[in-house]
Structure formats: structure tokens, C-alpha cells
Structure 1
Amino acid sequence: MIISLSGSAPPTDQIRDQIRGLIASGLLAADERLPSVRQLALDLGVAPGTVAKAYRALEAEGLVSARTGGGTRVSRTATTTPKPVLDAARRLADAGTRADVDLDEAIRILRAVWPA
């Protein structure tokens, strides 16, 4: 699992969003164990409370479940994004990178063209 912190969003939000994306894309499978709070905090250079807050938010969304002694795992009910949507997202990311469009701008573009 690769998570990196960059940009102006709070680290808790970045961690939550990236793990959410890994689950949605199927890169984190149901029942797969996440790194411990301490390990991920050490890896990212943030306070353990920051990671714990992100994990709690994911648990509240039903994407992960935490068990004492069993760690935090991807929920068995977490669903992945359909393959055609993932493929289109990858094509957008590739095209955006080639055109030097950053992630924030790509999100603004998606919001503008998304049907109401």
C-alpha cells in the first residue's frame, strides 16, 4: 500500500481519501489488513492520532473495520468501482499528466462536466 502526503489538504483527509481510493480501485481487497496506526504514522511522518482519525472516518463510512488484536481490515462489504469507470479514470489521469493538468484542476473539470 502506497500513500503519500502532498498538497494543502489536511493529512487526515489525504490518508482517508487515498485509502478510500485504494479500496474503490480494488488495490486493497476485502479483509485485507491495513498497516497499524503506528506503522503508517511512522512511514508518513505524522502523529499516530492523525492516522487513527483517518481510520475512524473510514470505519464510520463502513469501508474498514477495526478489531482489538486483529488490526484494521478492509470491510467485507466494501465495494469496488466498476472496471469501465476505473479505466476511464486512468485514461483521464494519463491525459491530464501529458497535458500538465494537476489533480485539483482535473477534479474541477470533472465537477463541471458531471451530469446533475
Structure 2
Amino acid sequence: MITVDPTSGTPPYEQLRVQVRDAVTAGSLAAGAKLPTVRALAEELGLAVNTVARAYRELEADGVIETRGRNGTFIAQHGDPTQQQAQDAARQFADRVRRLGLPEDAALALVRAALRT
């Protein structure tokens, strides 16, 4: 999902920061989603650990992500309280659907049907 262009004039930490922020804005990274550890993402992208750590620090300062100590780093709740509750409900539903082994298209069909009633 995230790529870093080493030939870009934009520093790698900034490329990472912008891509995570944009994914949150677009909804492809939902509130409560767990991010890889700094070390794991650095290894995956071929970056220095400090580069990923800087991007995470800036994202946290901007309120995009939150670090929960040893539990990891997560996409922060955002928006008004109603939106936050809806994000939380959606995350809980998605977690439950995954545990049940239901395919995404079937889960979305259930949501559409429930919204029509």
C-alpha cells in the first residue's frame, strides 16, 4: 500500500507521512486500524528505522495516529463524536466479520440490507 520513491526530491519520511494521511482521509485506513511496527515497516520499505519513526512521530503530532505503548500504533479516531462512534461500530463489525470468516462482499451486503431497514 505504501511505497517510497528514492529518486523523489521529497524526503522518504514525508512520502510515508503523506501516504498514511491520505489513506486515512480516503478511508482506506480506518480508525482503529493497527499499523506495522516501526521496525517492520522500515524493513518492508527498505528504510532506516529512524526515518519511519520520524514519520510516525509527525503523524502522531498531527493526530492521525496514536501510539498505545506495547500494544502498537493505530489510526486515531477522527471527526465529530457521531462520526467517531460510527467508525468504532464499523471497526467492531469488521473485526467480528473477520472472526466469522465471512467474505467482504457478503459483509457489505449485510450492511446495505441493514441500512435499508
* TM-score scaled by length of structure 2: 0.64
Instruction: Report the number of matched residues.
Output: 79
Asked whether the equivalents of residues 23 and 78 of structure 1 are also in contact (C-alpha less than 8 Å), the reply is: no
CA deviation after TM superposition for structure 1 residue 78, in Å: 5.7
Q: 1 CA distance for matches of 2:28 and 2:69?
A: 24
Letter in 2 for 1:28: L
Match in the other structure for 1:20 = 21
Match in the other structure for 2:3 = 4
* TM-score scaled by length of structure 1: 0.64
Q: 1 CA distance for matches of 2:23 and 2:36?
A: 13
The 5-angstrom pairing of residues 1-116 of structure 1 reads: 2-6=1-5, 7-77=8-78
Q: Which runs of 5+ in 1 are unaligned?
A: 81-116
Asked whether the equivalents of residues 63 and 74 of structure 1 are also in contact (C-alpha less than 8 Å), the reply is: yes
Q: Which runs of 5+ in 2 are unaligned?
A: 84-117
Letter in 2 for 1:10: P
The sequence identity of aligned pairs, in percent, is 42
CA deviation after TM superposition for structure 1 residue 76, in Å: 1.1
Letter in 2 for 1:19: V
Structure 1's consecutive aligned runs of 4 or more residues displaced over 6 angstroms after TM superposition are none
Letter in 2 for 1:8: G
Q: 2 CA distance for matches of 1:77 and 1:22?
A: 13
**Matched position secondary structure for 1:73:** strand
CA deviation after TM superposition for structure 1 residue 33, in Å: 0.4
Q: 1 CA distance for matches of 2:15 and 2:79?
A: 19
What CA RMSD, in Å, does the superposition of the two structures yield over aligned residues?
A: 1.7
CA deviation after TM superposition for structure 1 residue 47, in Å: 0.6
Letter in 1 for 2:4: L
Letter in 1 for 2:22: G
